[in-house]
Each structure stands twice: as C-alpha cells, then as structure tokens.
Amino acid sequence: MKDGKVVVVIGHRMGKGQQVAAGVEKAGGIAIVIPGMAADMKLGDVMKENDADIGISFCGSGGAGAITAKSKYGYSSTSHLRSVDAACTAIREGYQAIGLGFLDVEELGYRVVETFLKKEKEKND
C-alpha cells in the first residue's frame, strides 16, 4: 500500500482497463493502467516497479500476464477467472496477480479493492 491506498496495476491485452481503473479509484485505490497492446504481458514488471498490492491481467485466455508475473517475479497468481466474484475470491485467498478474460468493468476494480482492504483489516485485527 502507498500512503494507505491499495495499488492496483491493470494490464489488458487490447490496451484497455480504464473501467476497472475507475472502480479502483472510486474505492480509494491507486490504479496504474499499462498502456498499449499486449499490456498484460508487462504486468509483473509494472507491479514490481510500483510495489503494487494487486495486478489484474486481461486476455482472451485469462492468464498470460498473471502467469508471467509469477514466473518472472514470484507473485502468487491464479488465472482463467471469468467473473468479479471469482476475482474477489482470489484476493481473499491471497493471490497478488489475477488473470481474467476480458472484463473491463468498474465493479471489478471497486470490489477487488474493497475485498483487499477487508482482508488486510481482518489480518491486522
């Protein structure tokens, strides 16, 4: 966390991710959207550069960026997720890099940050 805010890196295969970023910011987090095509493959690099709490990777298969973040930097990862609920479950289970199919929706960013904050609060209580 940076200044008490959850840092979320978003890498989308088609260069999107702005809706998820809006949700992250709405929940009080810091969103870093990796620009350009194949941004998902840079997920681990940008997470490392920014000391991110969470990385979200989007591609058709739902996992390449998260798997690469694990292979290159050792981030705990899960992939092939297809829903907001699945992403929140992954955060509760302690995953740092999560891979989804194309799901650029504000609700995802908002709920992932809320889930992370709740988990951190429970850990510290």
Specify the CATH number for the domain of residue 66. 3.40.1400.10
b/e map 91-114, b = 16+ CB within 10 Å: beeebbbbbbbebbebebbbbbbb
Token pair 């194309």 in the structure block, residue: 102
CA distance 45 to 83: 25
Show the domain range for 107: 7-124
Whether residue 2 lies inside any domain: the answer is no
- Split into its structural domains, the chain has a count of 1
61 has pLDDT over 90: no
The mean pLDDT of the chain is 95
Whether residue 106 lies inside any domain: the answer is yes
- Rg (C-alpha) for the chain, rounded Å, is 12
Whether residue 89 lies inside any domain: the answer is yes
Q: The tokens of 83 are what?
A: 């829903």
Whether residue 43 lies inside any domain: the answer is yes
102-121 pLDDT, tens digit each: 889 999 999 999 999 999 99
25-43 pLDDT, tens digit each: 999 999 999 999 999 999 9
